[in-house]
Amino acid sequence: MSTPASTEPSFDLGQDHLDLRSWVHDFAAEVVRPAASEWDEREEFPWPVLEEAAKIGLYSLDFIASQAADETGLGFPITMEELFWGDAGIGLSIVGTSLAAAGVRANGTDEQVIEWVPQMYGSPGDLKLGAFCSSEPDAGSDVGAMRTRATYDEATDEWVLNGTKTWATNGGIADVHVVTAVVDPDLRTRGQASFVVPPGTAGLSQGQKFKKHGIRASHTAEVVLDQVRVPGRCLLGGKEKLDARLARAREAVRDGALGASPGTGVKANASMATFERTRPAVGAQAIGIARAAYEVALDYAKTREQFGKPIIENQAIAFMLADMAVSIEASRLLVWRAAWMARQGKRFDQAEGSMSKLFAGETAVKVTERAMQILGGNGFTREYPVERMARDAKIYTIFEGTSEIQRLVIARAVSGAPIR
Ligand SMILES: Cc1cc2nc3c(=O)[nH]c(=O)nc-3n(C[C@H](O)[C@H](O)[C@H](O)COP(=O)(O)OP(=O)(O)OC[C@H]3O[C@@H](n4cnc5c(N)ncnc54)[C@H](O)[C@@H]3O)c2cc1C
């Protein structure tokens, strides 16, 4: 981006950010929103919309790289808010790959980023996808309960992966899967590592595809790993770094500085490093949904008449809209602050990333529910979009750490107490 590098947060968006916002908004308004209802009903991955996003460069490695280089950190939240204002299911189909790319960036070497991230995007006419696979049937919030095992075969310099991942966005239809696995079960979260599974690797298959409440255009499925052999270079960060990390953790266990099962899985580990980087952007997605529902409700309240006047002239309705507007603005401030802090490499002493995701996610749920209320019977039908938006919003209190887990992280950060 050509916006001058800024180390201070600013509420005054530069021209580059204003241009970015209107570019993504136009795509969301002209391509995403008109397709939203159809793909929600079909519950299928919206390939033609992804193709359009690739054609304009929105689904591309170059776009991700340019936003990652944005010194303010605001490029991603601005993009997410506008895109998800168009539709969340399609939005997640377009940005789902970036979670896998973030997993490689957070844990991989520069060479690994250069090798694998381009293979997650492909090009118009030859689209590729990435999937980030951490959750398991018995390891959702508690990532320390992970069972997928990675064992090293010294003779061939290969890692062998076995296990079942669940809830993976793009799981099984992706070209590149980023998989977290246990390399030393005694070390719980500290004994985990991340691996890239290259396109076409034998032994990786899609399990059950889930039928969901919301974001139904986004593909969510189990990923089964049965004797999946990947070359040594697929271990993100490399073996030397892993061996050093494991040695430090074993030493800490021996010295009693670290329990063999250190707390719940919400502590820092490979997955958590990824989530920390992505939480503000996920909060921005929730804001997009909330803003979309708020706008529909505001328009409706101004035009719908009962008792001889527009319903907005009732304080009961107007105050709901006022609260919705305040929550959306407050969410955006939290999200932008956290995104800026992440880009500046600031410490999240008060779990500001979790705060932003928690508040924005819960705002999306409340705002979309109130929008349905303001639309009355129409709000309850599929003739109006707020019903879909309310279904879509709910995921923002569940994935990328549930609201309870965000509160746990925040409570620990602000209190320093070992809260469980
Ligand atoms: C549509 C969708 C897409 C997803 N995409 C991905 C993906 O791409 N990659 C991936 O790896 N995962 C993905 N996930 C998984 C998601 O991150 C998990 O669903 C989430 O972390 C919660 O785990 P769980 O479903 O096992 O719930 P559980 O952990 O079983 O939680 C159940 C309930 O218990 C509460 N709870 C659990 N522990 C505590 C505690 N210590 N204190 C208080 N309350 C607690 C939770 O908050 C929740 O209310 C996705 C999920 C969905 C639904």
| pLDDT(305) > 70 | yes
pLDDT at residue 4, rounded to an integer: 44
82 catalytic residue (yes or no): no
* 59-68 mean pLDDT: 94
Query: Whose Cα sits closest to atom 27 in ligand 1?
Result: 140
Q: Is the pLDDT assigned to residue 392 strictly greater than 90?
A: yes
User: Which residue of 133, 135, 420 sits with most ligand 1 atoms within 8 Å of its CB, as the best mutation to test the pocket?
Assistant: 135
Q: Do 231 and 68 contact (CB within 8 A), yes or no?
A: no
Q: Please give the pLDDT value at position 395.
A: 98
| Residues near ligand 1 (Cβ within 6 A) | 99, 132-135, 140-141, 167-169, 212, 215, 220, 264, 395, 398-400, 402, 404-405, 408
Give tens-digit pLDDT for 23-40.
Answer: 999 999 999 999 999 999
Question: Ligand 1: distance of its center to the CA of 63 in Å?
Answer: 30
Residue 267 has pLDDT above 60, yes or no: no
What atom in ligand 1 is closest to the CA of residue 271?
A: 11
Give the pLDDT confidence score for residue 420 in this predicted structure: 86
Q: pLDDT for 313-327, tens place per residue?
A: 999 999 999 999 999
Catalytic choice (81, 82, 276, 400): 400
pLDDT at 161 over 80: yes
Atom of ligand 1 nearest to the CA of 400: 17
- Return the structure tokens found at 33: 């929103």
Ligand 1 centroid to 377 CA: how many Å?
A: 32
| Ligand 1 centroid, distance to 80 Cα (angstroms) | 22
Mean of pLDDT values over 399-417: 95
As a three-state string, the secondary structure of 210-270 is CCCCCCCCCCEEEEEEEEEEEEHHHECCCHHHHHHHHHHHHHHHHCCCCCCCCCCCCCCCH
What is the percent of the chain where pLDDT is above 90? 87
pLDDT computed for residue 257 by the predictor: 64
CA distance 165 to 281: 24
Q: Output the six-digit token pair for 324.
A: 């919705």
- Number of H helices and E strands in the chain, helices first, is 14, 11
Q: pTM of whole model > 0.75?
A: yes
Provide the mean pLDDT of the chain. Answer: 93
Give 378-387 contacts, CB < 8 A, sequence gap 24+: 378/300, 382/37, 384/296, 385/36, 385/37, 385/292, 385/293, 385/296, 386/293, 386/296, 386/297
Q: Which of 312, 315, 309, 314 is nearest to 301 (CA)?
A: 312
pLDDT digits (tens, 9 = 90+) for 328-382: 999 999 999 999 999 988 888 899 999 999 999 999 999 999 999 999 999 999 9
Is residue 271 scored above 90 in pLDDT? no
For 230, 304, 320, 323, the CA distances from 312, given in Å and listed in that order, are 60, 8, 10, 13
Compute the distance from residue 405 Cα to the ligand 1 centre, in Å. Answer: 9
Taking CA atoms only, the protein residue closest to ligand 1 atom 50 is 167
Residue 260 pLDDT:
41
- 156 CB contacts (<8 Å, ≥6 apart)? 229
Determine the atom of ligand 1 nearest the C-alpha atom of 139. Answer: 26
pLDDT at residue 3 tops 50: no
Give the helix/strand (H/E) hosting 205.
Answer: strand 204-209
Q: Place 253 in a pLDDT band, splitting at 50, 70 and 90.
A: confident
- Alpha carbon of 103 to ligand 1 centroid (Å): 18
HSE (CB half, 13 Å, CA atoms) of 93? Answer: 30
